[in-house]
Amino acid sequence: MRKQFGAKPTKADIQQYEQSPQWDGEKFVNSEPTSMAISIRTLPKLLYKQFCEKKDREPSQPLPIQPFDKEAFVTNDNEVRYIWYGHSVVLLRIKGKNILIDPMLGSNAAPIAPFPIKRFSENTLAIIDQLPEIDLVLLSHDHYDHLDYDSIQKLHSKAKQFYVALGVKRHLVKWNINPEIITEFDWWQEVSFQDIKITFTPTRHFSGRGLTDRAKSLWGGWVLKTATENIWFSGDSGYGPHFEAIGKRLGPFDFAFMECGQYNENWSQIHMFPEETVQAAIDAKVHNMMPVHWAGFALAQHTWTDPVERFITATIKEECNYNLPKLGTIQTITNQNHTPWWK
């Protein structure tokens, strides 16, 4: 079996998962009924569109990524800084710590499929070599566009610790990451990492890397709270009441990385449309937001710029603060850059 698949859960794993309120006896479930709603009848057309109709779904040329400037990134720890590398990859500098979220920097989001889903930028795996030592890696769930074998191998000697969704540890252990540096999280579980309180938050999604491990690990988002900042990474999610619950329990948030992209009416309960993304941020009491989960891969049928254009329209209508950084640029959580760099 290919290494990219990761590991199937063992009996001991299942016994551990059974302790979770999110486990229904067979699998992890969302807090409200959630359906993928793809019928056998619509599947062939969907697959044809996905793999054969590429017009405007990818940029006309590779998206450039600003080279990493280590000195600029690690000096001046008075404020949080971050770099976005496309899709959901975020490097954070917070309280003098380097935190890497969903570090899928591989070239292909469908490594086990007959047709590749190629990244919009080139040579992204090499970025990991340039990065400083990573104090903590956060993994929201085990889908291929968030958890990548090649990226984890590159991080092997660079990452000191991993915080992951419940059930994701088994993949990392199979890939030779030391189990002692991996901590699994259920929804609402929190821990103090140095001076940062980290909480795993609910999302409305699913998981799985093969035909037999669907929903055999959990999915979610991450909150990072210090004495001076409160930051949220929403994670992949359909719209739902959990956003308001997160805002009430852990908000308001100075800044949020909001899932925005790879949506389709066939799976609208597990990925938000951009208008829902903005509403979710409002529900959770977010002061300044940025759309992620776009500008990396064509995983849905919309054009590659549709997520950001609809996001802008919605934020203007709702009078929200937002930031649209170029790939690889160093940002602060107060930045509000509205330049349409993708045009």
Tell me the domains of the chain and their CATH numbers.
6-332 (3.60.15.10)
Record the tokens describing residue 328, joined without a space. 């690889």
Record the tokens describing residue 110, joined without a space. 């469908």
Q: Which residues pair with 267 in a beta bridge?
A: none
For the chain, count helices (H), then strands (E): 9, 14
Compute the distance between CA of residue 137 and CA of residue 6 in angstroms, rounded to an integer: 18
Q: Going by C-beta distance under 8 Å and a sequence separation of 6 or more, which residues neighbour residue 319?
A: none
Q: Is the pTM of this model over 0.75?
A: yes
252 preceded by cis ω (within 30°)? yes
Are 160 and 184 within 8 A, CB to CB? no
Residue given tokens 């389709």 in the structure block: 264
Compute the distance between CA of residue 87 and CA of residue 101 in angstroms, rounded to an integer: 11
Query: What integer pLDDT is reported at residue 52 of this predicted model?
Result: 64
| Alpha-helix runs per DSSP H in 119-218 | 125-130, 149-155, 169-174
Residues of the chain scoring pLDDT < 50: none
Compute the distance between CA of residue 338 and CA of residue 233 in angstroms, rounded to an integer: 20
Compute the distance between CA of residue 21 and CA of residue 96 in angstroms, rounded to an integer: 35
Are 265 and 301 within 8 A, CB to CB? no
Query: What integer pLDDT is reported at residue 44 of this predicted model?
Result: 62
SS3 (DSSP) at 97: strand
What's the order of all strands across the beta sheet hosting 330-332?
182-185, 162-165, 136-139, 97-101, 90-94, 81-84, 330-332
Concatenating the DSSP letter of every residue in 201-221 gives E--S----SSSS-TTSS---E
